[in-house]
């Protein structure tokens, strides 16, 4: 022990500390730390802003009543009260549309993911994979436009929850496909081969061996895909449009939390509601993210 | 002949056709919708800077929005560059494997999860007043403000890919450099960067691709004026933001022009992402 402490304090090392290279290194590291702190500062600023401005509105009626009209909101603001009503129509709309999009995207996404995993070397599968990547990069507003031309114009003949779901479905699809493929790539081939060796048919191996052993990965991928589309506004503006009442008819215009934020933003009387709605949306997105992180950490144990 | 295994394979193959169908249908729909605009204006649609919806004198050109999109995305990339670079080194090298690094990594992931419209709100109520306070312009709207919010939005994408690339650099190489007496800065610049260069470059390309397609946050901050922005603090509009703004009341030639812009946007993002993916494959 003594030897080491003596070695630690040789003259050369004391000198080295003041060497220009080491000073430069310290300065460089300092900059990296400062820039990293700047990078993460928006998340702290945004969340604290949402909480400090939005918590007042988060009461029971916020979750159980529909949006007030401008006049009610104006009266309340003038009297210095909190705005009556809530965002129930947005909550139900978001749940409805994400649910329909998930019902379409999860089975198709997992099946295409399995197809890509099974045919990794085939040219056709590589093309499908590239197209999936391209789909993933398409701006969401373009997907909204597509859903407008396909669903709003030809299927529901008007703005509808179904059109909104379809846009979200196209957004979710590439995310689920890629996460499914990546998950299956991590499962040892021997598990699958053991199934084949027992003479199990192909579909049974998929359903009873591969999907159960990759379940946590699949769920994580699905949750992350949902958290990505839950806050989407642009495609819903062109498809679901919005509604003042709770609507569960998929052929009718429907509201959603992000759409409500956009409406409140455009209405000066509703400003107070913006923050609470954004806070709710953020909690939803971050909650989904945290659950998926938790599942990943469990799997790694 | 048609046993269970074959049926399963055929079913899987058929579902994969859905992807082909959606993608090709998308291109066809956009092309079909864009035909009237391109028929009317031809190639001039891309180079004309006139956006005039007045009846009888209708004239639509995409240039202001192409320039607006590229300008905001480049500003975003320039601001994102030092920040994402530092953060990725922080997570991937300097504090690699520590609790601190995973905490910072988690914060960066959270940034990626924030919906575009919440960024827009925060930009409108917090960033925009800052820009006004600094005296850059009166209203705070403009290309710079939009680029600033875009930078914050794309940093997580650039950072997370860069971290992977930096972590992939072999330890032997780094240790060899350290044993020669290199400082950490030396190792970063003469070992890590030369090895992870193309991967880090790719991460910025993909971040750029994301910035190009962002809609809501930009709409709320760029000022939405359909002209070519003359300076950093001038208002303008981007392609995605224009579609979101004007789609509601659009029909006829205007609708077709918006679809044409969507088609351009589709190809631009496709090219950028395709280029990025190609680079990743080569690694």
User: Which chain B residues have a beta carbon less than 8 Å from that of A35?
Assistant: 82-83, 85-87
Question: What chain B residue is nearest to A17 in terms of C-alpha separation?
Answer: B183
Distance from CA of A1 to the nearest CA of B (A): 23
> Which burial class, exposed, middle or buried, applies to A79 when counting CB atoms under 10 A from its CB (0-12, 13-18, 19+)?
exposed
Report yes or no for ipTM above 0.90: yes
State the sign of the Cα–Cα–Cα–Cα dihedral A292, B108, B244, A139: negative
A149 to chain B, any CB pair closer than 8 A? The answer is: yes
Q: Cβ B8–A135 below 8 Å, yes or no? A: no
User: B142, B234 in Cβ contact below 8 A?
Assistant: yes
Does the pLDDT of residue A301 top 50, yes or no?
no
Nearest by CB to A137, from B89, B104, B209: name it: B209
Q: Which residues in B lie closer than 8 A to residue A148 (C-beta atoms)? A: 247
Which uninterrupted H or E stretch holds A289? Answer: helix A271-300
Q: A120 CB near a chain B CB, below 8 Å?
A: no
Average pLDDT of the residues of chain A: 90
What DSSP assignment string belongs to chain B? ---HHHHHHHHHHHHHHHHHHHHHHHHHHHHHHHHHHHHHHTTHHHH---EE--TTS-EE--HHHHHHHHHHHHHHHHHHHHHHHHHHHIIIIITTTSHHHHHHHHHHHHHHHS-HHHHHHHIIIIIHHHHHHTTS-SS--SHHHHHHHHHHHHHHHHHHHHHHHHHHS-HHHHHHHHHTT--HHHHIIIIIHHHHHHHHHHHHHHHHHHHHH--HHHHHHS---SS---STTS----HHHHHHHHSTT--HHHHHHHHHHHHHHHHHHHHHHHHHHHHHHH-
Sequence-ordered alpha helix ranges (H) in A120-160 = 123-137, 140-147, 153-154
Residues 6+ apart with CB under 8 A from B50: B59, B60, B61
Q: Which of A234, A236, A240 to mutate to test the interface with B (most CBs of B within 10 A)?
A: A234
Q: Compute the nearest-CA separation of B112 from chain A (Å).
A: 9
- The architecture (CATH level 2) of A88-300 comes to Orthogonal Bundle (1.10)
Say if residue A17's pLDDT is above 70. no
pTM: 0.93
Q: Which residue of B has its CA nearest to A43?
A: B111
> Tokens 């780094």 correspond to what residue?
B174
> What is the per-residue pLDDT for A11?
58
Residue range B64-282 forms a domain whose CATH class is: mainly alpha
Instruction: Please name which of A119, A116, A64, A55 lies closest in space to residue A90, comparing C-alpha atoms.
Output: A64
Looking at the complex, does the CB of residue A146 fall below 8 Å from at least one CB of chain B?
Answer: yes
Q: CB distance A142–B30 less than 8 Å?
A: yes
A-chain residue closest to B214, CA distance: A139
From the CA of A110, how many Å to the nearest CA of chain B? 10
Residue A279, pLDDT above cutoff 70: yes
Give the nearest partner residue to B243 out of A25, A141, A281, using CB atoms.
Answer: A141
Chain B environment of A49 (Cβ under 8 Å): 122, 125-126
DSSP state of A88: H
Query: Among A36, A129, A184, which would you mutate to test the B interface (most chain B Cβ atoms within 10 Å of its Cβ)?
Result: A36
CB contact under 8 A, A237 and B259: no
Q: Identify all chain A residues contacting B260, using CB atoms and an 8 Å cutoff.
A: none
Residues of A in contact with B251 (CB under 8 A): none
Average confidence (pLDDT) over A56-65: 89
d(CA B76, CA B204): 10
pLDDT value at position B61? Answer: 92
Note down pLDDT in tens along chain B; length 283 residues: 567 788 999 999 999 999 999 999 999 999 999 999 999 998 899 999 989 888 888 889 999 999 999 999 999 999 999 999 999 999 999 999 999 999 999 999 999 999 999 999 999 999 999 999 988 788 899 999 999 999 999 999 999 999 999 999 999 999 999 999 899 999 999 999 999 999 999 999 999 999 999 999 999 999 999 999 998 999 999 999 999 999 988 888 999 999 999 999 999 999 999 999 888 887 7
Q: Indicate whether A2 pLDDT > 50.
A: no
Domain positions in chain A are 2-56, 88-300
Residue B207's Cβ-side half-sphere holds a number of Cα atoms within 13 Å equal to: 33
| Residues in contact with A159: Cβ distance below 8 Å, sequence separation at least 6, in sequence order | A152, A239, A240, A241, A253
- Best CA proximity match to B217, nearest among B132, B133, B130, B148: B148
B116·A146 Cβ contact <8 A: no
Partner B, chain A 198-237, Cβ-Cβ below 8 Å:
201-203, 206, 227, 230-234, 237
> Between B29, B86, B248, which is nearest A36 by CB?
B86
Nearest-CA distance B225 → chain A (Å):
17
The tokens describing B132, both together, are 């006004």
Per-domain boundaries in chain B: 4-52, 64-282
């Amino acid at each position: 022990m003594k030897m080491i402490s003596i070695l630690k304090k040789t003259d050369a090392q004391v000198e080295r500390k003041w060497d220009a290279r080491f000073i430069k290194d310290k300065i460089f590291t300092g900059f990296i730390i400062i820039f990293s702190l700047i990078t993460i500062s928006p998340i702290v600023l945004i969340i604290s802003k949402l909480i400090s401005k939005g918590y007042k509105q988060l009461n029971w009626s916020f979750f159980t009543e529909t949006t007030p009209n401008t006049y009610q909101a104006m009266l309340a603001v003038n009297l210095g009260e909190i705005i009556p009503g809530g965002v129930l129509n947005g909550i139900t709309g978001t749940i409805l549309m994400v649910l329909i999009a998930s019902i379409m995207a999860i089975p198709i996404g997992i099946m295409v993911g399995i197809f890509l995993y099974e045919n990794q070397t085939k040219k056709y599968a590589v093309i499908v994979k590239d197209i999936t990547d391209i789909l993933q990069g398409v701006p969401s507003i373009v997907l909204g436009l597509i859903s407008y031309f396909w669903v709003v114009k030809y299927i529901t003949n008007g703005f509808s929850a179904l059109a909104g779901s379809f846009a979200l479905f196209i957004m979710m699809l590439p995310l689920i496909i890629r996460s499914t493929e990546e998950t299956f790539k991590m499962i040892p081939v021997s598990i699958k081969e053991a199934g084949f060796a027992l003479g199990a048919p192909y579909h049974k191996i998929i359903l009873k061996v591969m999907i159960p052993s990759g379940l946590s990965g699949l769920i994580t991928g699905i949750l992350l895909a949902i958290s990505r589309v839950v806050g989407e506004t642009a495609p819903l503006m062109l498809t679901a449009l919005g509604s003042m009442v709770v609507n569960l008819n998929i052929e009718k215009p429907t509201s959603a939390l992000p759409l409500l934020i956009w409406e409140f933003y455009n209405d000066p009387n509703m400003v107070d509601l913006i923050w609470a709605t954004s806070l709710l949306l953020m909690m939803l997105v971050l909650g989904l993210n945290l659950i998926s992180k938790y599942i990943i950490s469990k799997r790694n144990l | 002949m048609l046993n269970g295994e074959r049926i399963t394979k055929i079913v899987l193959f058929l579902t994969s056709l859905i992807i082909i169908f959606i993608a090709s249908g998308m291109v066809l729909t956009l092309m079909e919708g864009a035909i009237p605009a391109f028929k009317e204006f031809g190639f001039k649609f891309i180079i004309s800077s006139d956006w005039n919806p007045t009846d009888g004198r209708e004239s639509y050109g995409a240039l202001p929005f192409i320039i607006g999109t590229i300008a905001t995305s480049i500003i975003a990339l320039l601001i994102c560059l030092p920040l994402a670079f530092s953060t990725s080194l922080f997570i991937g090298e300097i504090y690699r494997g520590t609790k601190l690094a995973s905490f910072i990594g988690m914060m960066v992931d959270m940034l990626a999860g924030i919906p575009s419209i919440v960024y827009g709100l925060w930009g409108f109520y917090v960033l925009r007043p800052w820009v006004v306070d600094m005296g850059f312009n009166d209203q705070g709207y403009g290309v710079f403000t939009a680029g600033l919010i875009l930078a914050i939005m794309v940093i997580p994408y650039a950072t997370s890919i860069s971290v992977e690339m930096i972590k992939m650099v072999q330890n032997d190489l780094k240790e060899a450099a350290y044993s020669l007496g290199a400082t950490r800065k030396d190792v970063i610049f003469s070992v890590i960067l030369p090895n992870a260069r193309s991967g880090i470059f790719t991460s910025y390309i993909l971040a750029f691709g994301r910035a190009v397609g962002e809609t809501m946050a930009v709409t709320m901050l760029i000022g939405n004026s359909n002209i070519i922005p003359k300076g950093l603090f001038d208002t303008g509009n981007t392609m995605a933001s224009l579609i979101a703004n004007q789609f509601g009341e659009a029909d006829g030639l205007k609708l077709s022009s918006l679809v044409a812009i969507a088609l351009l946007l589709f190809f631009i993002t496709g090219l950028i992402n395709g280029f990025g993916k190609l680079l990743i494959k080569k690694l």
